Amino acid sequence: MKRVEKLFKEKKNILNIYLTAGYPNLNDTIEVVKELANNGVDMVEIGMPFSDPLADGPTIQNSSQVAIKNGITLELIFNQIEEIRKTVEIPIVLMGYYNQVLQYGADSFFEKAKAVGVDGFIIPDLPLDIYEKEHQQKVESLGLNMIFLITPQTTDERIILIDSKSSGFLYVVSSFAITGSKSDIQQSQIDYFKRINNLKLKNPKLIGFGISDKKTFDTACQHAEGAIIGSAFIKAFEGSKNIKQTVKEFITTVL
């Protein structure tokens, strides 16, 4: 059984943490992921820094710019994941943009990701029809997951279609905003989560955008199989000198 499917079968209230590869320092990716796994995180989403990150808020955009200045590349990210896989078993999902995949060569990208131990991908700007026509067969043949996003603006009909093409889990964007928007979960969002649950989709769901602490994480877990935290975790590294301590302290504010 694939790592992602196995995780959702065995555990509830899944915590998925997003980190930016090559941030705060070029080779910190390896230690950050190891410490996340050591502190009870169930899955990690490794962001591939990109010069034009459309869906990312200022915190993640800034971390991407720092990582690019540090010298991060896709090849280095693959090397880092290969090193991580020597000691870490939790699922690893790569998040980035379709242009990065095309620049690397799509088939080569998917094959390399599989070879180093990646479990799946979140590519927010990959059109569903392009995925179906050009990449779905390759991704599925390699036993990899492709995770698509839905938002409050997505129609029920479209959600059902997206669910049919997704594998692993569905990324439920909690509000129509960029990442890093921070506030308590509102009643309108809860109504949206209930609408999704009433559709009886085939994939489990993780809620992302605006999840930042124990309160928002616990609320999200009442309406989905877990949640994703990104910007709040990246912010924890501002001024940090000790990765081990920073990761441990942050995770204790969530779990």
Show which residues are catalytic.
Answer: 45, 56
State how far the alpha carbon of 128 is from the alpha carbons of 13, 100, 208, in Å. 28, 17, 20
- Residues 234, 19 contacting (CB under 8 angstroms): yes
Cα–Cα distance for residue pair 154/150, rounded to 1 Å: 6
Amino acid at 142: L
Q: Which residues of 64-96 are buried (b: 16+ CB within 10 A; e: fewer)?
A: bbbbbebebbbebbbebbebbeeebebbbbbbb
Bridging pattern class, strands 205-208 and 170-173: parallel
Token representation of residue 137: 């067969």
List, in sequence order, every residue forming a beta bridge with 15; answer none if it has no partner. Answer: 227
